[in-house]
Structure 1
Amino acid sequence: MQHLPDPHIGPIGIMAAMPQELQALLDLMPDESRVQRGGRDFWRGHLGGREVVAVLSGIGKVAAATTATLLADAFGVSQLWFTGVAGGLGADVRVGDVVVASALLQHDLDVSPLFPRHEVPGLGVSRLHPPAAWVAQVADAVADALSPQALAPGGPLSHIHLDTLGLRAPRVHTGLIASGDQFVNSAEDADTLRHHLPDVLAVEMEGAAVAQVCVAFGLPYAVVRTVSDRADASAHVDFERFVRSVASPYSLAIAMALLKVMPDGAVAAPQAHS
């Protein structure tokens, strides 16, 4: 089994899908400095006592994979976290819930008949998995960060008023996230994904590409998505308000929780599994 060095040796890479998420991180980084690479602004500094590099991911698989590659190669990050929003596909996944990826797959990857549908050429698998123990630790940290106690009056997230958006307290799900260069917002497209991937929980546009980069570099990674819609044509909540009032505070709380619990010792490198 391959092991990575102590995460303190290299900074933690934090990819944010939305500018609001990135700004919330920067507001808590007193010593951030900007470094420009590949047309992107990377922000180096400290957060929660840990050295981090924060950056916007860019939209779509190529943009996000490029960002992840720069984090790994130019900044030498030793682990990578990616937060953002996604469309919910699982039957019990509702708007406001959070999905921690235990598997990621590119739903629009099809090189058949050369390879089976969804299989990543060169890896021989369709699904990429962070280390199971790592996923469990991330899910526990997310559940603690977004607990009913945290959202209750006097808690660190008491400023989030879910009832005004018609939302319940978030549930944390662990499972498959599908990624593709398509904004899925029709019931027909959502049903097609569920048909081909019965266990899929959420869909977005970057996570599986980032996972592939992390596998190539041997980096442990976490992809955590707040569900903003049901990936159909229905407008469940006002998106901009949801991002500002719910998703961005959730992402910040999740990042701060992960900073407290992510391991100081060697971490098993991620593996590719079918």
Structure 2
Amino acid sequence: MKDTAPIALVAALHDELASVLELMPDEHKQTVGGREFWVGHLHGQAVVAVLSGIGKVAAATTATLLIERFGVGGIVFTGVAGGLGEGVRVGDVVVARSFLQHDMDASPLFPRHEVPGYGRSRFDADAALTDRLLAACHHTLTYLPSTLTASTVHTFGLHGPRVHQGLLVSGDRFVATTTESQALQAALPDALAVEMEGAAFAQVCHDFGVPLAVVRTISDRADDAAHVDFPKFLREVASRYSGAIVESLFSR
């Protein structure tokens, strides 16, 4: 994977960004808009790494800065999410093909979920970049789960993790109750997972014509049982997934 313009590597949380920065031998920091952007190379490709910020507004600001200030030619986002779709389990990986803001509701002026001014509720991921990310995820899951400790596998029930692809939904609310997750499943039955940034990145990338690909590791089922040892999951599972998937993507 080699492009002339830099590729943005965006993580949702500090541990995940750290796993990406470990792959960059020559990174240096620039601070813009209160955000730390790490500029460098990965396998000879110019890259810019940054934390997205939490929520759609922070995510949109970060995406715009990456495009306007750093001139990135594509964005790859890694993070965690709550599983919604049937069979989407803790430790699985979801690669987004499309995005929707589940809390967008300008009715009765516009249909529920439709973004005013766009005539649509869903924004697509870039097909080519997403195909490459999907291949990297499949490759990573052929070996990485076997390197996890028995304790980690037992604690989180990580048995035969799989890769899913489809709809990712975003909103400015942390979904962590069965009532909320069931409401989302009823309203959006094809949604695979829920998080707080992806759809904002997708709308900005649509506006600027910049390719976007997003992968999310499932940390919980976004329900009443979602209160896992999240720091342990992030440290021992999600951050390792992020680093390995990015490494695979850029080394292929």
Q: What are the equivalent positions in structure 2 for 1:217-232 lying under 5 Å apart? A: 217-232=208-223
Q: Give the whole-Å Cα distance in 2 for the aligned partners of 1:13 and 1:93.
A: 27
Indicate how the Cα distance of structure 1 residues 25 and 138 shifts in structure 2: closer, same or farther if over 3 A, else same.
closer
Q: Give the whole-Å Cα distance in 1 for the aligned partners of 2:23 and 2:123.
A: 32
TM-superposition CA deviations, 1:80-114 (whole Å, max 9, x none): 01110000001100000000001100000011122
Q: Give the whole-Å Cα distance in 2 for the aligned partners of 1:42 and 1:202.
A: 27
Q: TM-score, normalised on structure 2?
A: 0.94
**C-alpha contact 1:184 1:231 (8 A) present in aligned 2:** yes
**What is the letter of the counterpart of residue 194 of structure 2?**
V
Shift of 1:48: 2.2
Q: Give the whole-Å Cα distance in 1 for the aligned partners of 2:85 and 2:164.
A: 10
Q: TM-score, normalised on structure 1?
A: 0.87
**What is the letter of the counterpart of residue 120 of structure 2?**
V
**What is the letter of the counterpart of residue 240 of structure 1?**
P
Q: Give the whole-Å Cα distance in 2 for the aligned partners of 1:44 and 1:136.
A: 25
The match for 2:244 among 253, 261, 270 is 253
Is residue 2:211 matched to residue 1:216? no
TM-superposition CA deviations, 1:244-266 (whole Å, max 9, x none): 000000011111111134xxxxx
Is residue 2:88 matched to residue 1:66? no
Q: Give the whole-Å Cα distance in 2 for the aligned partners of 1:120 and 1:160.
A: 44
Structure 2, unpaired ranges of 5+: none
Shift of 1:28: 2.4
**What is the letter of the counterpart of residue 14 of structure 2?**
P
SS in 1 for 2:154: helix
TM-superposition CA deviations, 1:169-204 (whole Å, max 9, x none): 320000111000000001000011011101110000
Count of residues in Structure 1 that have an aligned counterpart in Structure 2: 250
TM-superposition CA deviations, 1:40-59 (whole Å, max 9, x none): 00000112221110001000
The aligned counterpart of 1:34 is 29
Identical columns (%)? 57
Is residue 2:106 matched to residue 1:88? no
The aligned counterpart of 1:203 is 194
The aligned counterpart of 2:3 is 8
| Structure 1 range deviating more: 198-207 or 126-135 | 126-135
SS in 1 for 2:245: helix
**Alignment RMSD, CA only?**
1.6
SS in 2 for 1:138: helix
